Amino acid sequence: MQILLRRFEIPLLQFATRITGDRERARDVVQETFVKLQNNGAFQNPEPATWLFTVCRNGALNVCRKEKRTQYLDEELIEAREAEQPMPFERLEQQEAAGFLLRIVATLPPRQQEVIQLKFQNDLSYQQIAEITKTTANNVGVLIHTALKTLRQRIRQRGKGFCSFYPRTSET
């Protein structure tokens, strides 16, 4: 159980935060997910990632339904979160690139954001993502393909490289 907690706590927290839009509610959802894991003995499941992400997703969506809204992180929330935790100077460039990518990903439809996060942040298979999102593996493939194509286009529209995202000053 401890191994699963260490392995999946942060990815589940990120996933639930993206769905609920609130880190504290996401913590509650993740905590409930691990309580259900312990009560159901599901930690003996050979593929716990699918079970954990499914239960977490359902819990986060239930929280949103109770509040009558599904809220994904938007650009303002991402920028506010970045401003709360200043990074050391040597990681500034990496943070700017990640922030740029997060803002671009945040422009995708919620379903595409969800499958992109499950695939690239949590390294889940198409089949696992399909089970979590209650769709088919083929549909997951189409969603990821469409999302990546859209992301490439939007990155190209911003110009070459990440530097073009930031406006030039008259001094340069």
pLDDT tens figures, 79-93: 555 455 544 554 566
d(CA 42, CA 39): 8
* CB-CB contact of 54 with 118 (8 Å): no
d(CA 147, CA 108): 7
Q: Which candidate, 37, 36, 14, places its Cα nearest to that of 26?
A: 14
* CB-CB contact of 78 with 103 (8 Å): yes
Q: Quick one: pLDDT at residue 89?
A: 54
| pLDDT over threshold 50, residue 145 | yes
What radius of gyration do the chain's Cα atoms show? 18
Task: Note the pLDDT tens digit of each residue in 123-137.
Answer: 899 999 999 999 999
* CB-CB contact of 106 with 74 (8 Å): yes
> In the CATH scheme, what is the code of domain 99-161?
1.10.10.10
Q: Quick one: pLDDT at residue 13?
A: 93
Task: Record the pTM.
Answer: 0.60
Q: Quick one: pLDDT at residue 148?
A: 94
Average pLDDT over residues 41-58: 82
| pLDDT over threshold 60, residue 98 | yes
Q: Quick one: pLDDT at residue 32?
A: 94
